Amino acid sequence: MNFELTVLPLDTIDAEIEVIIVVDNNLKHNFVQDKKLLKKAGFSAGQDETCLLLGEGRLYVGAASLQSAAIRTAAASAIKALKGSNYKSIKVATYTNEGCTYTLRAMVEGFILGAYTFETYKSKKNECKIDHISLSLEEYSGLKIDIEKASLLIHKAQITADATNFTRDIVNTTPDDCYPAVMASIAEGMAEDTGLSCKILKPKELKKENMETLLAVARASRHTPRVIHLTHIPKKPKCVVTLVGKGLTYDSGGLSLKPADFMVTMKSDKSGGSTVLGIMKAVAELDLPIEVHGFVGAVENMIGGDAYKPDDVLVAKNGKTIEIRNTDAEGRLVLADTLCYAQQEVKSDYLFDFATLTGASVVAVGHYTSTIMGNNKEVQDLVVKEAHNAGELATALDFNPYLKKTIKSEIADVCNISNTRYGGAITAGQFLSEFIDKKHADKWAHIDIAGPAFVEHAWGENPFGASGAGVRMMVKLIENLAKEDTHKY
Ligand code: BES
Ligand code: ZN
Ligand code: ZN
């Protein structure tokens, strides 16, 4: 999708359709030319409501306000309304919130995210045909806009949204087409394209690194595991950020097999790792002045004669012993070793992990929201704030010492499940905290994206299936770290 920024007024731009965002759900604005027709059509400018006036060549879409989130989903709805059509070009004015051009970024993101389709497995493709969007600097309420600032924001929006779509593609790919070795080659290909460096650890190296816990989860699969390490090192890095992702290319549950209904969609258990790949792509393309490391533990959790078992005791890379009572709590085992490896390789100012870790996170806050955990409230709050700035939903879940006791084991250092059926997102986070070194204890946040990463219906700017949750929130967070003078929370 090609964006052209122009100072030309809208009516002099040649395009097949003009998109008009009706802000504040208010049809009375001067720039709404077709008031009568819209009234007749029953258009009330509700958020994301669309009305295509074919004769006039205008598509109207409602937005509740000039807030970025409202503009982003409105733009996505507009492009979705044109998906079945053969239109190739659209034009749109600029909408800013009292001169704040972030709404422009949100609008461009909305167009790219809304146009996304995943049609790899369809014999008849129905891709969005719009490939040219003219953005006029004619501002809807007559404000003046700096063209350089505007074009920089469009560039950033394109990179961020394309990276989100890149993550969506990986997650949506079937487990037979995307297994650990494939994830590793996707990372290598992306690194080559963007100038990142990329190291892949295969089973031999994983053994050498004492990653026995990760290897145990992988054991029953015909697909051998990989650990991916991507690196972005700019000239004068302002600080160091480490990202770690759960990359379960399939989670059958292992011997603690998932019931049939719960196994469907578990190709999405690689979302955390795929999100890390998407963030790394954006960080490289934006060339952010932050050193960023991305680690992915890519593993398939299957059943078989050599599968790891409930009752096993595994030894993690940091020497801690883990009593296995449920092989479906495998993500935390893969993350335990990958987190230990990441911390051995890099000392960082911030450490974030992304995982579709628990159904309990979805039970707690619903499908659309990520839950943020950790030892440090400020780091948790920072993630929540940047998620909201980027148009994602996130909320903090606090640790407490009573829940921590529920993952105690009688026979090992820690148990891989809790002895209570409640608070499962938190106890999973507390399990991970056992594998965070002292030096990183206050620099770490765990981001459970089990809710929003894969949803079987479209919502906001997100399609059916993978959403790319975590990409926009973390790109924004890292971008803002680059702006600050001091980087300690
Ligand atoms: N991958 C799942 C968590 C999940 C569930 C992600 C639903 C997305 C949607 C994870 O590996 C898992 O199975 N967790 C178990 C933990 C339990 C055995 C303690 C769960 O959430 O039920
Ligand atoms: Zn599982
Ligand atoms: Zn899992």
Left, alpha or beta for 397 (phi > 0: left; psi -120 to 50: alpha)?
A: beta
Residues 330 and 192 in one domain: yes
Cα 55 from Cα 40, distance rounded (Å): 14
In a domain, 126, yes or no: yes
Q: Ligand 1, closest atom to CA 417?
A: 19
In a domain, 251, yes or no: yes
Residues 359 and 248 in one domain: yes
Q: Ligand 1, closest atom to CA 453?
A: 8
| pLDDT of res. 489 | 37
Q: Which of these three, 129, 145, 161, is where a domain ends?
A: 145
331 alpha carbon to ligand 2 midpoint, in Å?
6
Residue 265: Cβ-neighbour burial (10 angstroms; 0-12, 13-18, 19+): middle
Q: Please indicate whether residue 258 is annotated as part of the active site.
A: yes
How far, CA to CA in Å, does 363 sit from each of 279, 369, 372, 399?
27, 11, 15, 17
Reading the chain (489 residues) residue by residue, the pLDDT tens digits are: 999 999 998 999 999 999 999 998 888 888 899 999 999 999 999 999 999 999 999 999 999 999 999 999 999 999 999 998 999 999 999 988 776 778 999 999 999 999 999 999 999 998 889 999 999 998 887 888 888 999 999 999 999 999 999 999 999 999 999 999 999 999 999 999 999 999 999 999 999 999 999 999 999 999 999 999 999 999 999 999 999 999 999 999 999 999 999 999 999 999 999 999 999 999 999 999 999 999 999 999 999 999 999 999 999 999 999 999 999 999 999 999 999 999 999 999 999 999 999 999 999 999 999 999 999 999 999 999 999 999 999 999 999 999 999 999 999 999 999 999 999 999 999 999 999 999 999 999 999 999 999 999 999 999 999 999 999 999 999 999 998 754 433
Q: Which of these three, 145, 164, 182, is where a domain ends?
A: 145
In a domain, 390, yes or no: yes
Residues 476 and 421 in one domain: yes
Count structural domains, the chain.
2
Domain of 353, CATH number, reads: 3.40.630.10
Domain that holds residue 223: 173-481
Residues 182 and 135 in one domain: no
Q: Which of these three, 125, 145, 165, is where a domain ends?
A: 145
Tell me, using a 6 A CB cutoff, whether residue 450 lines ligand 1: yes
How far, CA to CA in Å, does 262 sit from each of 232, 265, 370?
37, 8, 20
Q: Please indicate whether residue 421 is annotated as part of the active site.
A: no
* Contacts of the segment 460-465: beta carbons below 8 A, 24+ positions apart: 460/72, 460/73, 460/76, 460/368, 460/391, 461/72, 461/73, 461/75, 461/76, 461/109, 461/110, 461/113, 461/114, 461/391, 462/113, 463/116, 463/117, 463/118, 463/168, 465/118, 465/168, 465/171, 465/172, 465/268
Cα 200 from Cα 296, distance rounded (Å): 10
In a domain, 151, yes or no: no
Residues 241 and 135 in one domain: no
| pLDDT of res. 99 | 63
Quickly list H helices, 391-484: 401-405, 424-433, 471-483
| pLDDT of res. 144 | 84
Q: Which two tokens stand for residue 272?
A: 């955390």
Q: Which ligand is nearest to the CA of 268?
A: 1
| pLDDT of res. 485 | 54
Residues 184 and 40 in one domain: no
Residues 86 and 27 in one domain: yes
Q: Is the pTM of this model over 0.85?
A: yes
* Contacts of the segment 122-131: beta carbons below 8 A, 24+ positions apart: 126/83, 126/84, 128/79, 128/82, 128/83, 129/85, 129/86, 129/87, 129/88, 130/1, 130/79, 130/82, 130/87, 130/88, 130/89, 130/90, 131/1, 131/2, 131/88, 131/89
328 alpha carbon to ligand 2 midpoint, in Å?
3
461 alpha carbon to ligand 3 midpoint, in Å?
25
Q: Interior CA angle at 79 toward 76 and 85, to 5°?
A: 155
271 alpha carbon to ligand 3 midpoint, in Å?
10
Residues 115 and 198 in one domain: no
Residues 137 and 192 in one domain: no
Bridge partners of 395, per DSSP, are 371
In a domain, 486, yes or no: no
Q: Which listed residue (156, 332, 443, 476) is catalytic?
A: 332
Residues 99 and 221 in one domain: no
Q: Which two tokens stand for residue 121?
A: 């497995």
Take atom 7 of ligand 1 and give the residue whose Cα is closest. Answer: 359
Residues 333 and 205 in one domain: yes
Tell me, using a 6 A CB cutoff, whether residue 326 lines ligand 1: yes
In a domain, 160, yes or no: no
In a domain, 487, yes or no: no
Three-state SS string across 305-335, please? Answer: CCCCCCCCEEECCCCCEEECCCCCCCHHHHH
Residues 138 and 198 in one domain: no
In a domain, 468, yes or no: yes
Q: What are phi and psi of 78, to 5 degrees?
A: -60, -45
* Contacts of the segment 46-53: beta carbons below 8 A, 24+ positions apart: 47/73, 47/74, 48/73, 48/74, 48/76, 48/77, 49/77, 50/77, 50/78, 50/81, 52/17, 52/81, 52/82
Q: Which two tokens stand for residue 234?
A: 């700019």
Looking from the CA of 165 toward its CB, the CA atoms found within 13 Å total: 19
Domain of 118, CATH number, reads: 3.40.220.10
